Amino acid sequence: MSDLLAKLNTEQLQAVTLPPQHALILAGAGSGKTRVLTTRIAWLLSTGQCDPAAILAVTFTNKAAKEMHARLGALLPINTRGMWIGTFHGLCNRLLRAHHRDAGLPQLFQILDSADQLAAIKRLLKALNVDDEKFPPRELQHFINAQKEAGLRPAAVDVWDDYSRRRVELYQEYETQCQRESVVDFAELLLRTFELLERNEPVRRHYQRRFRHILVDEFQDTNRLQYRWLKLLAGGEPPACLFCVGDDDQSIYRFRGAEVGNMRDFEREFQVTGVIRLEQNYRSHGNILDAANAIIRNNSARLGKNLWTEAGAGEPIRIFEAFSDSDEARWVVDEIQQLVRDGALRADIALLYRSNAQSRVLEHALFSAGIPYRVYGGLRFFERQEIKHALAYLRLIANPDDDTAFARVVNFPTRGIGARSIEALQDAARTWSTSLYATVPHLGGKPGTVLAQFVRLIEELRRETARLPLPELVDHVLDRSTLRDHYKSEKEGRERLENLDELIAAAANFTAEAQAGAEALAADHALLADFLAHASLEAGEHQADQGMDAVQLMTVHAAKGLEFDAVFVSGLEEGLFPHENSILESEGLEEERRLMYVAVTRARQRLYLSFAQSRMLHGQTRCNLRSRFLEEIPAPLARWLTPPKPRGGPGGGYYEPPRGAFAPRAQPAAAQALPGGLRVGQLVRHARFGTGVIIAAEGSGSDARVQINFGDAGIKWLLLGVAKLEACA
DNA sequence: AAGCTTAGACTTTTT
DNA sequence: GTCTAAGCTT
């Protein structure tokens, strides 16, 4: 136990051992946020304050959820499997599967990812003969998702003219289509679960009673619906403790609905009195932090925070002005070569940029210089065309009413079903109000038609695979659908074939994990449905080969949560960073500044900032002013390297021994007994300080002392013989 | 029905 | 400059 808490600083310790109450932890960049979150859970469990089943931990990405699982597993000798740790969407999926009847869904409902949703909307517009110039599918998608995130069903959306009325009608039509096809999009997962909990009292009560501690990671990224979802779950009698960790200065996802205001609202609505600030940074040198602090100070509406470090000031920040984008890229390459000569690992160097389009010039320069590099972003495993096609066949087996899947593969590989026949089928489906699949027999064609043959293929597949283990099922489908043959005969099909094999491997992997979880599977293809949900919810890795020591290229967004010894931020120009689309509104500009703050705080030891006088953008040469963010960095922190740049590196003093601030591993001890029947983790009452939790004990007899975290009143050492402590139940 | 050509767009992105 | 999508040709 004491091991668990030993390496925490005062604020971290305070946060970890907070008595049961709502809490807001403002965790600055590099301040040990994940550590606090996982140690908090470990503390609650190891002191016996609650049961693993009473914990609900919510993250945004699958990666973060996995990491939390792994860290907890290392901290505690319990199996974390039964615990509810996951993403908002993953947890909603779990709830909806468990209560599908109450939620008005079939057990094997499918999940649409964004691309599927867009395809579904396009199909809908076509079927309804809607002019997609007037209602661009992308805009409609955005509109629908925004309504759902606001918690609004079509009937509740305000309309004021023909256009807005028609848009809401289309929203309604989309809903009807999804329900008919038994598919659920990402926003629907959340809204459906929210409505289920709100309307179904027994279900709500059950989960409210069960989850005593709800912990939220990256709270600044929650949207309105997610916040209401949390409020609902925590709002039982007695209420659960909401422990929210976040950093308003790192909120960079406003464009997809994140609502920083949730932090303020949470503080107010839950009467969170003692906001805990984690401001000590264990990552960067002083100059880097000072620059970050100076930049972010220009934002209004902050909750307020100032990072500091015990590490020295370190190197000055290097700023370079280039003639052109290619000149900038050459300079970056030169500096990287210098760093590598000085012994840096390429994998510890990151090249960050505001938008993906900027990577090309950098890649070109790196390639010419023969420096290995890795670009993050782009297509992920489950988003690849061949994988999507294979999944569509699998989806039709699990749920033949999935028209998106049907439309995707009805003529792929081509089997002579053209646009005409599909259109006719769609019209018929509309009149009969049935799915495309179910409409085929109604067409009245002879059973020998290609469409009927396709339906028969799916039916046979369903029968043939009912008893097959998942990997064999996938393998069989790849053969019978002729997908494999199709890519075999395609010139560039080699990689696609490898990916299809990889899909079988993924299925095998998934099966193994599901069996370890020992969940009883009721229906045929239930495991298949789980696998398909997994594929939609977790799109997989961007790229596989991690072995090579390569320079890391990514957008600033993608870099959030990562850290590197040396960081280059290129393209610091007005219009690019801050981006021109965000410059007009102050809200947008402040988000750009937070983005800059995130970029700067990725660096451990060295930070390089650069901009170019002219740059090719969209096929045109543009001349931009240098970014205002550069002006916001105090002069003493930076060293300008004006061209012609000085040759020869700074040399020496760069690689310092690593600070061992975060040596992991702490063995939890059993809650030890203290005199008077008290023990660590116990809730006690003190006449003056109120209620608190015992977090440590030492001495014996008349010297016996205990350390207590009284929350807002702070952490105190009290003599057991003197202080009148009353144990709370 | 399938392949080829040309016109348009084009922050950021996870679930 | 490069990718996608729609339109046109065969």
Instruction: Kindly determine whether the C-beta of residue A619 is less than 7 Å away from any atom of nucleic acid strand C.
Output: yes
Strand positions, DSSP E, A335-454: 349-353, 373-375
Residues A440 and A342 in one domain: no
Domain boundary among A219, A253, A280: A280
Residues A41 and A60 in one domain: yes
Residues A438 and A479 in one domain: yes
Give the nearest nucleotide to A113, CA to C1': B15
Strand A690-698 relative to strand A349-353, pairing: unpaired
Domain boundary among A232, A259, A280: A280
Q: Say how far apart CA A631 and CA A258 lie, in whole Å.
A: 28
Q: Say how far apart CA A179 and CA A549 lie, in whole Å.
A: 48
Give the nearest nucleotide to A620, CA to C1': C1
Q: For strand B, which nucleotides have at least one atom less than 7 Å from a protein CB? A: 1-2, 9-15
Number of domains in chain A: 5
Residues A91 and A225 in one domain: yes
Give the nearest nucleotide to A592, CA to C1': B12
Instruction: Kindly determine whether the C-beta of residue A357 is less than 7 Å away from any atom of nucleic acid strand C.
Output: yes
Contact A663, A7 (CB under 8 A): yes
Residues A397 and A420 in one domain: yes
Domain boundary among A259, A280, A301: A280
State, as a whole number of angstroms, the distance between the CA of A311 and the C1' of C5. 54
Which residue, A607, A566, A539, is CA-closest to A377?
A539
Give the nearest nucleotide to A137, CA to C1': C5
Q: For strand C, which nucleotides have at least one atom less than 7 Å from a protein CB? A: 1-2
Place of tokens 């550590």: A35
Contact A680, A672 (CB under 8 A): yes
Ligand-binding annotation for A33, yes or no, is: yes
Does residue A364 belong to any structural domain of this protein?
A: yes
Structure tokens that stand for A391 in this block: 């999944």
Strand A110-112 relative to strand A183-185, pairing: parallel
Does residue A664 belong to any structural domain of this protein?
A: no
Residues A145 and A38 in one domain: no
Q: Which residue has the closest alpha carbon to B11 C1'?
A: A355
Q: What is the pLDDT of residue A40?
A: 96
Does residue A76 belong to any structural domain of this protein?
A: yes
CA distances from A624 to A350, A612, A614 (A): 24, 8, 7
Q: Which residues of chain A have pLDDT under 50?
A: 544, 643-672
State, as a whole number of angstroms, the distance between the CA of A14 and the C1' of B13. 34
Strand A603-617 relative to strand A715-719, pairing: unpaired
Does residue A677 belong to any structural domain of this protein?
A: no
Residues A511 and A551 in one domain: no
Place of tokens 């057991």: A720
Q: What is the pLDDT of residue A519?
A: 54
Which domain covers residue A71, as residue numbers?
Answer: 10-101+204-280
Ligand-binding annotation for A28, yes or no, is: yes
- Residue length, chain A? 729
pTM of the entire structure?
0.86
Task: Give burial (CB, 10 Å; 0-12/13-18/19+) of A620.
Answer: exposed
Helix, strand, coil percent values for chain A (each to nearest 5): 50, 15, 35
Q: Going by C-beta distance under 8 Å and a sequence separation of 6 or more, which residues neighbour residue A416?
A: A450
Does residue A669 belong to any structural domain of this protein?
A: no
Instruction: Kindly determine whether the C-beta of residue A118 is less than 7 Å away from any atom of nucleic acid strand C.
Output: no
Does residue A198 belong to any structural domain of this protein?
A: no
Residues A223 and A75 in one domain: yes
Residues A469 and A550 in one domain: no
CATH code of the domain containing A151? 1.10.10.160
Q: Going by C-beta distance under 8 Å and a sequence separation of 6 or more, which residues neighbour residue A261?
A: none
Residues A315 and A275 in one domain: no
Question: What's the N-to-C CA distance of chain A in angstroms?
Answer: 21
Does residue A665 belong to any structural domain of this protein?
A: no
CATH code of the domain containing A221? 3.40.50.300
Residues A375 and A388 in one domain: no
Instruction: Kindly determine whether the C-beta of residue A616 is less than 7 Å away from any atom of nucleic acid strand C.
Output: yes
Instruction: Please give residues of chain A from 358 to 377 whose alpha-adjacent beta carbon (CB) lies under 7 Å from any atom of strand C.
Output: 360
Q: What is the pLDDT of residue A669?
A: 33
Does residue A648 belong to any structural domain of this protein?
A: no
- Active-site residue list of A: 33-34, 217-218, 250, 602
Q: Say how far apart CA A402 and CA A429 lie, in whole Å.
A: 13
Q: What is the pLDDT of residue A642?
A: 66
Residues A360 and A407 in one domain: no
State, as a whole number of angstroms, the distance between the CA of A262 and the C1' of B12. 21
Give the nearest nucleotide to A616, CA to C1': C1
CATH code of the domain containing A461? 1.10.486.10
Instruction: Kindly determine whether the C-beta of residue A77 is less than 7 Å away from any atom of nucleic acid strand C.
Output: no
Contact A278, A28 (CB under 8 A): yes
Peptide bond into A413 cis (omega under 30): yes
Instruction: Please give residues of chain A from 507 to 536 whose alpha-adjacent beta carbon (CB) lies under 7 Å from any atom of strand C.
Output: none
